[in-house]
Structure 1
């Protein structure tokens, strides 16, 4: 008979078997994607069952706070809990995850909401389940002052239209620019110059 494995082995094993749980649910009110309780429980259930791991909730504290929610200030109750989720392994060992959670409701669903959030959080954090979303640090957008961006746009448009540097400089001066284009920080002058260049015929184009 194979010896039962401890939770220290089974928890990372289950994590690998479950894999990513994507943020496929959408909050219409606040406009963001999230991972709902059903998606998380459904993702974890088979791997936990196969590996003989169960989880039992334990309510440590609960607080009922009168609040108002939404633009209409609807009276509601904020249910704030601290729950312990005890993971039981086939070897008889246990691991407990302590989770704070909150659920707001104008009827009688606040407690259920709070406990659903707590369970979802316990599963996500215990098994370290990724979302497979692109990491915010995976992309980078250079930030430059607006006048620098306009300077670059002017130069790019001039090159695209085949204008000579002297033509670009003349247009810049015609709209109040002095000195070098790359040293100008007057946004209005730069915008006027850009708009004029965008509407100008290219140096290699012939008029009809």
Structure 2
């Protein structure tokens, strides 16, 4: 290996510097397009080998290890009159989810990847008339097991309100938390309130006709149609009938599904 000074002198003399080789690397990187070399876990005691079982068995073992996660996180607020801080409610945050699932997924060779994200934003206000930005994110996840096989793709949604630039990051964290707790079926015994709680002020709610116009718009992507279905379900508007592009009455649910199938080829 040449020193930094020697390589600098070679470059100053117009010579091609001798490449430095790091002793920390266990192997040289393969040429582009070629698979990575096999990694022998047995020769690396710091990285124990997970048992080679199908992904659904590995995920079941993760659930068996986690079992229960209590609501140990606290949402605190300050009393406007006394100035004293009090605990308004307890919840399970994303850190609780990662602390519970992180070691278990490593132990059983489970990897979790976000393979697709669809986002939407709107401006709103809090109950104190502060300007807020609402971020809604629908994420598609891949859960891969130690043998390289995967569970069917899963979806989860996250929503947040923020006055700065952290809305998307918060929504991503909430989507991951929802995936881990819901797919893991980890109980608490109590309904979970929102971790990042902001009281909403008066904000205009989208109408059925507004959603109708967005659904039939040919520029609306299939991913956005999926998200509209999620929004309509939360607003309990799926059953509302509207006049479709042909003038016939159709529920928003049926209208959205039909256009989604037409744009993805599912209706052919």
Shift of 1:25: 1.1
Alignment check: 8 A CA contact 2:50 2:109 kept: no
What is the CA–CA distance in structure 1 between the aligned matches of 2:190 and 2:92, rounded to whole Å? 15
CA distance in 2, matches of 1:19, 1:97: 21
* Misfit runs of 4+, over 4 Å: none
Question: Who is 1:110 aligned against?
Answer: 167
Matches within 5 A, 1:48-197: 48-69=105-126, 71-95=127-151, 96-131=153-188, 133=189
Deviation at 1:114, TM superposition (A): 0.2
Cα distance change of structure 1 residues 134 and 83 upon mapping to structure 2, 3 Å threshold: closer
Higher relative contact order (CA 8 A, sep 6+): 1
| 8 A Cα contact 2:117 2:138, kept in partner | yes
Task: Indicate conservation of the 8 Å contact 1:102/1:113, yes or no.
Answer: yes
CA change 1:51–1:3 in 2 (3 A) is: closer
**Alignment size in residue pairs:** 133
What is the RMSD of the two structures over their aligned residues, measured on CA atoms? 2.2
In the alignment, does 2:86 pair up with 1:38?
A: no
Relative to structure 1, the CA distance from residue 2 to residue 110 in structure 2 (aligned partners, 3 Å threshold; closer, same or farther) is closer
Distance in 1, matches of 2:50 and 2:122, equals 51
More helix by share: 1
Q: Which runs of 5+ in 1 are unaligned?
A: 136-208
Unaligned runs of 5+ in 2: 1-48, 78-86, 192-268
Deviation at 1:3, TM superposition (A): 7.2
Relative to the length of structure 1, the TM-score reads: 0.59
1:88 and 1:20 map into 2 onto residues whose CA distance is 23
Compute the displacement of 1:93 (Å).
1.1
Distance 2:174 2:62 in 1: 21
CA distance in 2, matches of 1:59, 1:2: 27
Calculate the TM-score normalised by the size of structure 2. 0.46
Are 1:22 and 2:79 an aligned pair? Answer: no
Q: Cα 1:73–1:86, aligned 2, differ >3 Å: closer, same or farther?
A: same
Q: Following TM superposition, by how much is the alpha carbon of 1:92 offset from its aligned partner in structure 2, in angstroms?
A: 1.2
* Native 8 Å contact 1:59 1:81 kept in 2: no
Residues 91-138 of structure 1 show CA distances to partners (whole Å, capped at 9, x for unaligned) of 11112220111011000010011000000000001111122x479xxx
SS in 1 for 2:147: coil
Other structure's SS at 1:94 match: coil
